[in-house]
């Protein structure tokens, strides 16, 4: 899951980035409204967290810019406590959810999972395929009822493939999901994770689609 975080407060932004990475999101953090809008329109994100008070372009204008350009990525806005008008305007401009500051990180994580689920047209939280059950909230995998230990990167890859069940996911999309923009990617890093996933979960689960990417189902 690739997440865009638009937040100009350095302490809050830093804390959010660390917490969201631990939840398995790849986080691209921008401290400026204009840069956030530019990035959201030019790259593929699964979800956007948008602070409303941002330099260069206000969060509500970022939101307006996104929806005017038909970008329908789910957006959760962060508002000041008591700022009811901002929340109403944000929701009417196309935000999908909001949280008032200060908020609880566990609540934010749960709301993000619910937004992702809805954007994928699912109402049940568990991802399932051929005896494999992945629980995004608990970050746990079971295969035929037995828990399987995965690394965070393996978990991120498996979750993305299960969410895209039946569709081919390109290598570059998986790499973006794992690393975001700036991190260095070893040329065979993805293959290594896929190899390890196959060793743990069986060779048949993840199929290589030559020249295109990988697929489950
Ligand atoms: Ca702010």
- Given this model, what pLDDT does residue 125 score? 87
Rounded to the nearest angstrom, the distance between the alpha carbon of 33 and the centre of ligand 1 is 10
Residue-level pLDDT at 1: 86
Tell me the pLDDT tens digit for each residue of 55-80: 999 999 999 999 999 999 999 999 98
Over residues 8-52, the pLDDT tens digits come to: 999 999 999 999 999 889 999 999 999 999 999 999 899 999 999
Q: Tell me the domains of the chain and their CATH numbers.
A: 2-119 (3.40.50.2300), 127-215 (1.10.10.10)
By DSSP bridging, strand 213-216 and strand 169-170 are antiparallel
Distance 86 CA to ligand 1 centre (A): 13
Convert 183-193 to b/e letters by CB count within 10 Å (16 or more is b): eeeeeeebeeb
CB of 122 within 8 A of CB of 129? no
Query: What is the rounded average pLDDT of the residues 146-156?
Result: 94
**Alpha carbon of 73 to ligand 1 centroid (Å):** 21
Rounded distance from Cα 136 to ligand 1 centre (Å): 29
pLDDT value, residue 91 = 95
Q: How far is the CA of 101 from the centre of ligand 1 (A)?
A: 10
Q: What is the pLDDT of residue 123?
A: 81
pLDDT one-digit tens code per residue, 89-109? 999 999 999 999 999 999 999
Residues with CB under 5 Å of ion ligand 1 are 8, 51, 53
Q: 4 C-alpha vs ligand 1 centroid, how far in Å?
A: 15
pLDDT of residue 177: 82
- CA 9-89-44 angle, to 5 degrees, is 60
């Amino acid at each position: 899951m690739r997440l865009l975080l638009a937040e100009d407060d350095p302490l809050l932004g830093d804390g959010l980035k660390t917490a969201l990475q631990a939840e398995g999101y790849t986080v691209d953090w921008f401290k400026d409204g204009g840069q956030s809008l530019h990035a959201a329109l030019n790259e593929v994100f699964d979800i956007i967290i948008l602070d409303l008070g941002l330099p260069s372009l206000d969060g509500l204008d970022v939101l307006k810019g996104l929806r005017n350009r038909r970008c329908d990525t789910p957006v959760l806005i962060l508002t000041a406590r008591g700022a009811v008008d901002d929340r109403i305007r944000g929701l009417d401009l196309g935000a999908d959810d909001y949280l008032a500051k200060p908020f609880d990180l566990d609540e934010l994580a749960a709301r993000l999972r619910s937004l992702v689920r809805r954007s994928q047209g699912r109402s049940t939280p568990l991802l399932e395929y051929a005896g494999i059950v992945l629980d995004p909230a608990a970050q746990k995998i079971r295969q035929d009822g037995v828990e399987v230990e995965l690394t965070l990167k393996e978990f991120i890859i498996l979750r993305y493939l299960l969410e895209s069940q039946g569709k081919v996911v390109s290598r570059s999309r998986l790499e973006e999901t794992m690393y975001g923009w700036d991190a260095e990617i070893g040329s065979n890093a993805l293959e290594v994770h896929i190899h390890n996933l196959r060793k743990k979960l069986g060779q048949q689960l993840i199929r290589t689609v030559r020249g295109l990417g990988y697929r489950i189902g």
